[in-house]
Structure 1
Amino acid sequence: MFVLLGPVAAHAGAGPRDTGSQPVDSYANAIRQSVWVDGDRDGKTDRVAADIIRPSEPAAAGRQVPVIMDASPYYSCCGRGNESQVKTYDQSGNPVGFPLYYDNYFVPRGYAVVLVDLAGTDRSDGCVDVGGASDITSAKAVIDWLNGRATAYTTRTGSTTAQAGWSNGSVGMIGKSWDGTVANGVAATGVEGLKTIVDISGISSWYDYYFAQGAALYDGGPDELASEVESSGAQSHCSAEEQALRDGAPRNGDWTSAWQDRDYYANASKVKASVFVAQGMQDLNVRTKNFGQWWNALAANGVQRKIWLSQTGHVDPFDYRRSDWVDTLHQWFDHYLMGVDNGVQSQPMADIERTPDHWSTDPVWPAPGTAATQVGLKASGTNGLGSLSAGAPPASGTERYTDNPAQDEDDWAAQADQATASKVSFTTGTLASDLRLSGGGTVTLTATPTTTSAHLSAVLVDLGPATIRNYEDGAEGITTLNTRSCWGDSTSGDSACYLDTAADTENVQQTVFSRGWADLGHYDPSLHGVSLTPGKPYTITIQLASTDHVVPAGHRLALIVAGTDNGLIVAPSTKPTISVDLSRSSADLPLVGGLPALAHALRGGSGHHHPTATTPAATPSRGPAAALPTSQAARLR
């Protein structure tokens, strides 16, 4: 079905190849229609709903247009964007309100915008399988239809077909969180016609959303997430699929074929689209390991790419750098979907937020000159306090701590210079020069537990005063204002005007900027866990999530090793004491300038602080995960 609102206006202005796309088409008169695409071309009733808005002027002139597509499970259950917008329809079921600004801004500039309900959600048939074949195929099928390779219908159950002759076959996918995840997954199929994706805080491996090397990050599994977003129709007939999700995602943290099916970065060699990544470096929802491993795999396969890294948590760039974001997105889509030679692909690859609202750029990312640099962990003579040094591990030394699941990384960081039983702090002296870390690192520990299960956490901390975005607040680093700004054209049923935002900042004395967690029983890279033998040493390499952070001169760098990170990983069944063999433990950190830069920063340092060994009361925690909604669907928006 489609609706043509109002008279057709004449198309005017220079072609997009000359100047870039201009807002010359009527938004009010745009064609709005819904189609249902056969999800897998097997003849069964598994149609995927796609709501389309496209300019009428090119249609009247017989010109084809490119497509910007957002495939989401959230268009009815939870909404999109900072204002939780849902799709709206008139009494006849024709689309009226399209969430987000993509339609308002890009349709007048000659693009079609297609919003797809993932299988099992809103007006689509099928079942939700949380990143599996159903999710990905339902979105891919729409791209196939836009390129003449699939069949669509004008209604959910009828036999009248809908044609996509208005599409030129060039598609760009965009989306935040689950939507961005689907874009990653579809790109990893290598589907023809997908020219670019914009991945905003998307997942690259669903295992790494639910587990960190065997340690559970959340209490629930993907079956619970499916039940939160699926339509009432899907809830009535998808119990078998939900059981398959439970069976394929055991809570013991083991790697299974279900996780393999949802591992997109493993298929980066198939990606033909360019990729624009936007990620909050303090995102404790879709944690930054996801973008880091995806980015590295894309780089290894020569994929054209660009990245923005903010100090926020799980936030869309539209809500922390709005004007620059819309302008860059416009250039990006113009280049990759319309062929405009605007130089966007020659701009700096990386934009990085250094302090709130202050950005720097790099020609490549990780930054030029970045090298994995070995850092030794040394004992100080006071248990729980050690030092970081350039080079290989020391010849001997042991540190011990006892897991305290009531504490978290904020507690540890606040007590970095205090000898407490629940963690070990390894710190530098005061840095003589800035020290920049760019990318992901690792911490290798040889750990001996006293119990049959144990969890490990490793966090990097910048010890020194700073003003940062308040990423642990519920809005994760932004404040929503009462004013609005408009980004495109509006109708009575679809406004282009959105609440403005500003940075929500706080002054801190220390900043945790990279994290890694693991279950010691999953020490083997195969991720098949075992019960630990008390008293036996195990060697495990913990992956530190990707970041880009400058520890300024005058500050200190700390690596803190501990047990359960309260609110960010689920506690084990026991509370072990862990002995760490420092002669067989070290960190490899992504230092810009490598070992010489580290040596330069450490020169003349004041050495480790050695306060009196005490066991103070725990510092009240701000509780990073406590700010996250308990609903998985609400978290993953």
Structure 2
Amino acid sequence: MGNHRKALRTTAVGAVSATLIAGSALGLAPAAQATSNGVRFVDITGDGGTVLKGNVVTPADADGTRRYPLIVLPTSWGLPQAEYLVQAQKLADTGYVVVTYNVRGFWQSGGEIEVAGPPDIADASKVIDWALANTPSDARHIGMAGVSYGAGISLLAAAHDKRIKAVASMSGWSDLVHSIYSGRTQHVQAAALLRGAATVTGRESPETRQAFDDFFAGDVAKESDLIAWGKKRSAETYLDQLNRNGAAIMLANAWGDTVFPANSYTDFYEKLTVPKRLELRPGDHATPEIIGLLGLPNDVWTDTERWLDHYLKGEDNGIDREQPVQLKSRSKGGYGGGYEGYPDWKSVAATSRKIDLAGTTTIHANVDSGADGGIVLLSSILDQLIQVPPVASIPLLPRRWAAVWQSEKYATAQHIRGTAKLHTTVTGTKESGTLVAYLYDVGPLGLGKLVSNAPYSWYGQTPGKPFGVDLDLFSTAYDVPAGHRLALVVDTVDPLYIEHNPSGAQLTFSSPAEDPSYVSIPLREQ
């Protein structure tokens, strides 16, 4: 568990970033209060009588004789009710009644943190009830939107409340288990960041406290309980209800989201049968939306407003005629460069190319080789702003602790779009273990820039007996320049994740003739 403690210490950097984000949101309040139609601060009775602190912004021309579309915005995890005031004002200025509220358990709202549990879902409906009774809002035109925690609650609410006709879910999740426990591996930095924010700004319920404790303990005996807890809080579980209710759903996320990886949204998007849109950009958790919260021009919030305008107001703004999948390559930067449109997610990668993982390679566990996924929030922000992802010198990676395979040099640029897939055969000397796979773009001097990564853990395997591993790396869009090559690196320790390698463990990777090992690279044809 030494690496576990190291990872927890590393999250201090991420916690500082989160604090800065929260501070920026707090700074929005004075600007919003200065508007002509003002902001009403209200108490809303949520589920079970819990008092939720909220804000109401109405159109300046509201005179009690007409009704306006309603938008409800639940706050993000750990952020105060001032979070959305600038965007709420902008939406009110275009003809919406906007109600934002602090979710239960945080800041001045009552109750305890339920992590988007049934009380949070019920709260959303109670807020709608309150708005219809106390504002000039139209019961026929109701939407929800939010960032992060607010995004997840909005999706869940739409599955349970038929009155919701449109949703914009920004940097949220559809499958909570997949997000923080993909590959049966605890994403420890992300979870520590969430728990740290909850400790500072809120009050955990007993169920939430137990779920976090079990998560960090890494006890596989509690795995089924953790999965059941997460499924109750995942829109994926209520997919049939969402499709039946018919709300138009826009999903927006960042390629480098270290809290809710983009894969969760892409898989979920394909299963939706309602009007839908998927947008993916460079960045980390909630970073594409930040400047919009400050009131500056922002693609995510602009498209959110267009989405709501079309499906709540009936405006013919063309968003329904655009290609519904909109991607921006990480190589084009977070705020510049153009978008690529696709009819669906499966069309993003027109073809694929395999890199053979030939030969037999043995590595020792328990030591970080120097290949890693970076630091939660910080690394992908740097990639978003200045296109500097985590790097590693591929020739210098110690082969005792890292397995390395490389492609040939590419004569032309390779446009990676989608989900790279690893297939290999592993033989361990212990019954449990963890591996982390990394895909690097390697330049002429051997410096590798991280393209994608993902962890994988196993339990109860027979020592010395080979078993197959199939692992989806986190989805991405990345352009490999001509003259570069790709490298797949596998090691056993990464500060982002809890490792389950017993002391002294060794892993052997092989490529049997009847079942060759490879990594499949999804490519866009030019």
- Counterpart of 1:202 in structure 2 is 172
CA distance in 1 between counterparts of 2:523 and 2:211 reads 43
CA distance in 2 between counterparts of 1:364 and 1:135 reads 34
- Counterpart of 1:341 in structure 2 is 316
Change beyond 3 A, Cα 1:323–1:73: closer
Identity %: 21
Shift of 1:169: 4.1
Change beyond 3 A, Cα 1:249–1:243: same
Higher helix content, 1 or 2: 2
- Counterpart of 1:34 in structure 2 is 42
Change beyond 3 A, Cα 1:171–1:312: same
2:357/2:518 contact within 8 Å kept: no
Shift of 1:458: 1.3
- Counterpart of 1:547 in structure 2 is 476
1:352 has 2:328 as partner: yes
Shift of 1:164: 4.6
1:586 has 2:518 as partner: yes
Moved more, 551-560 or 302-311: 302-311
- Counterpart of 1:107 in structure 2 is 92
Shift of 1:328: 3.1
- Counterpart of 2:30 in structure 1 is none
- Equivalent residues in 2 for 1:487-498, closer than 5 Å: none
1:284/1:314 contact within 8 Å kept: no
TM-score (norm 1): 0.64
Q: Give the letter for the 2:474 counterpart.
A: A
For residue 262 of structure 2, the aligned residue among 281, 288, 293 is 288
Change beyond 3 A, Cα 1:277–1:127: same
- Equivalent residues in 2 for 1:314-329, closer than 5 Å: 314-319=286-291, 322-329=297-304
- Counterpart of 2:9 in structure 1 is none
> What are the ranges of 5 or more consecutive residues in structure 2 without an aligned counterpart?
1-33, 374-389
2:282/2:288 contact within 8 Å kept: no
Change beyond 3 A, Cα 1:258–1:239: closer
Deviations 1:419-444 (A, max 9, x none): 62222222211112232222223212
> What are the ranges of 5 or more consecutive residues in structure 1 without an aligned counterpart?
1-25, 80-85, 88-96, 148-161, 380-396, 467-507, 522-529, 598-637
1:371/1:591 contact within 8 Å kept: yes
Q: Give the letter for the 1:306 counterpart.
A: L
2:56/2:98 contact within 8 Å kept: yes
CA distance in 1 between counterparts of 2:126 and 2:351 reads 42
Change beyond 3 A, Cα 1:285–1:428: same
CA distance in 1 between counterparts of 2:284 and 2:149 reads 18
1:429 has 2:423 as partner: no
1:222/1:246 contact within 8 Å kept: no
Shift of 1:276: 2.4
- Counterpart of 1:606 in structure 2 is none
- Counterpart of 2:462 in structure 1 is 533
SS in 2 for 1:542: strand
For residue 251 of structure 1, the aligned residue among 218, 230, 234 is 218
- Equivalent residues in 2 for 1:593-612, closer than 5 Å: 593=525
- Counterpart of 1:518 in structure 2 is 456
Moved more, 566-575 or 442-451: 566-575
Q: Give the letter for the 1:544 counterpart.
A: L
CA distance in 2 between counterparts of 1:245 and 1:310 reads 29
CA distance in 1 between counterparts of 2:444 and 2:323 reads 30
1:400 has 2:362 as partner: yes
Higher strand content, 1 or 2: 1
Shift of 1:509: 4.2
Deviations 1:551-574 (A, max 9, x none): 232221222222222344446343
Shift of 1:587: 2.8
Shift of 1:122: 3.2
Shift of 1:98: 6.2
Shift of 1:417: 3.7
Shift of 1:322: 2.8
Change beyond 3 A, Cα 1:422–1:292: farther
Q: Give the letter for the 2:361 counterpart.
A: E
1:273/1:303 contact within 8 Å kept: yes
Shift of 1:50: 3.2
Q: Give the letter for the 1:228 counterpart.
A: T
SS in 1 for 2:394: coil
CA distance in 2 between counterparts of 1:285 and 1:259 reads 14
Deviations 1:221-278 (A, max 9, x none): 79946852664xx56xx44663466468863352432122123223333322223233
Deviations 1:406-426 (A, max 9, x none): 334359962434562222222
The number of residue pairs the alignment matches comes to 458
1:128/1:134 contact within 8 Å kept: no
- Equivalent residues in 2 for 1:450-465, closer than 5 Å: 450-464=429-443
Shift of 1:518: 1.0
SS in 2 for 1:447: strand
Change beyond 3 A, Cα 1:100–1:428: farther
Deviations 1:323-366 (A, max 9, x none): 44444333222112211111122224304143222223213343
- Counterpart of 1:152 in structure 2 is none
Q: Give the letter for the 2:449 counterpart.
A: T
1:454/1:574 contact within 8 Å kept: no
TM-score (norm 2): 0.77
Moved more, 261-270 or 410-419: 410-419
- Equivalent residues in 2 for 1:183-194, closer than 5 Å: 183-187=154-158, 189-194=159-164
Change beyond 3 A, Cα 1:552–1:307: same
CA distance in 2 between counterparts of 1:432 and 1:215 reads 37
SS in 1 for 2:249: strand
CA distance in 1 between counterparts of 2:193 and 2:155 reads 18
CA distance in 2 between counterparts of 1:215 and 1:308 reads 24
Change beyond 3 A, Cα 1:276–1:580: same
- Counterpart of 2:422 in structure 1 is 443
- Counterpart of 2:104 in structure 1 is 119
CA distance in 1 between counterparts of 2:214 and 2:366 reads 31
Q: Give the letter for the 2:409 counterpart.
A: T
Deviations 1:30-87 (A, max 9, x none): 4625242341xxxx433444321212523x151111122221265xxx43xxxxxx44
1:181 has 2:119 as partner: no
SS in 1 for 2:172: coil
Deviations 1:76-104 (A, max 9, x none): xx43xxxxxx44xxxxxxxxx66442123
Change beyond 3 A, Cα 1:308–1:244: closer
SS in 2 for 1:266: helix
CA distance in 2 between counterparts of 1:359 and 1:65 reads 34
Q: Give the letter for the 1:52 counterpart.
A: V
Change beyond 3 A, Cα 1:336–1:249: farther
SS in 2 for 1:210: helix
2:68/2:136 contact within 8 Å kept: no
For residue 75 of structure 2, the aligned residue among 72, 95, 107 is 72
1:128 has 2:113 as partner: yes
SS in 2 for 1:292: helix
Q: Give the letter for the 2:185 counterpart.
A: A
1:372/1:441 contact within 8 Å kept: no
- Counterpart of 2:231 in structure 1 is 260
Shift of 1:376: 5.0
CA distance in 1 between counterparts of 2:283 and 2:319 reads 23
1:143/1:194 contact within 8 Å kept: no
Deviations 1:145-175 (A, max 9, x none): 546xxxxxxxxxxxxxx54553344233222
CA distance in 2 between counterparts of 1:280 and 1:227 reads 23
